[in-house]
Chains A and B, each alone.
Chain A
């Protein structure tokens, strides 16, 4: 049986007024294993709609960024908050409802059981639930190949944002976290710092509102940017030592 753990559920939100409340209700309804307390920590990334007002009206825990930082900066803010406030685990969860809270315990189990420092919820390990477009899947297998070549770690769903970090990983990402499309890059960061990465199958849903940060016309830019990010991060960590990150 797993021991007690304080879990911060970091949910970055940019204009998610349609789904944020139902997500909050769903998290509140979800039953978690004994000893695990889950606090949703919303990060308002300068939304221009009513997202912030919803947080205030329903007395939800949220941190309010004064300028728009994008997904990487918003998630890192949540990680920093979790690390400083003594949470044992932080889980990143998308604000658009793609990541069902009912699947959370599967990811948490890897951390509380001490099997991993970073646990990633993957939608490709079993072919269940929302699988996303074939173009996106091609991109993801490319990143899998790249990660395997560079750090020898196979992560099937390297773009999955549904991941849990223990305090060791939280300390690392409080110091440095990639910016624009952080997920595939972060895997390199974890692997080169000797953190154990494990994947577990989760069932994801199709997004309920908002727009994906990766739209079709941006795919080429995305692939290019992430490839560059991964390679340069690899070079920086491998040859310059870790001091350059902080």
Chain B
């Protein structure tokens, strides 16, 4: 199991993972990413870093799970994570849809009330 990945590639992988981590932290620090979403992204970067340092990690886990071709584990994990995250986003989206609807109706009714009051004052 030696030299599964060359050292050069490992350095690139670590650098990429760190870059990604830095990018995520910057987004959170600037308030562009809400903490509730930041959790999932921090976990992702942590996993990336873990596997860039732990060179045989993928093989070991694949072995444990009885997966013959280790890289397919990446696809399995990634697709699973993506699907879960998409469902989560759909839930968030639906909730926002409801909230926007409520706000729009509230605003329209208040606008009407305001106009009525102004008219009453005017006459």
Contacts and interface: CB of A to CB of B under 8 A. Distances in A.
Interface of A: 43, 62-67, 69, 73, 76-77, 80-81, 84, 179
Interface centre among A62, A67, A179 (most CB of B within 10 A): A67
B112 A73 contact: no
Counting chain B CB atoms within 10 Å of each CB, the highest count among A67, A77, A84 belongs to: A77
B107 interface: yes
Interface in B28-87: none
Nearest to A61: B112
B109 A84 contact: yes
Q: Which DSSP category, helix, strand, loop or mixed, fits chain A's interface?
A: mixed
A223 B67 CA distance: 44
B91 to A, nearest CB: 14
B12 interface: no
B108 to A, nearest CB: 5
Contacts of B104: 65-67, 69, 73, 77
B24 to A, nearest CB: 32
B88 interface: no
Q: Count chain A CB atoms within 10 A of each CB in B101, B104, B105, B107 and give the residue with the most.
A: B105
B111 interface: yes
Contacts of A81: 109, 112
Interface string B83-103: 000000000000000001100
Contacts of B109: 63, 77, 80-81, 84
Interface of B: 100-101, 104-105, 107-109, 111-112
B107 A73 contact: no
B105 A76 contact: yes
B80 to A, nearest CB: 26
A73 B103 CA distance: 11
Contacts of A77: 104-105, 108-109
Residue of A63, A67, A80 with highest tally of chain B CB at under 10 A = A63
Nearest to B109: A81
B112 A66 contact: no
The 4 A-B pairs at the shortest CB distance, nearest first, are namely A77-B105, A63-B108, A63-B112, A65-B108
Given A66-B104, A81-B109, 11 more contacts: A63-B108, A65-B104, A67-B104, A69-B101, A69-B104, A69-B105, A73-B101, A73-B105, A76-B105, A80-B109, A179-B101
10 contacts: A63-B109, A64-B112, A65-B104, A66-B107, A69-B101, A73-B101, A76-B101, A76-B105, A80-B109, A81-B112
Contacts of A43: 108
Nearest to A81: B109
Contacts of A179: 101
Contacts of A73: 101, 104-105
Nearest to A174: B105
A44 to B, nearest CB: 8
A92 to B, nearest CB: 15
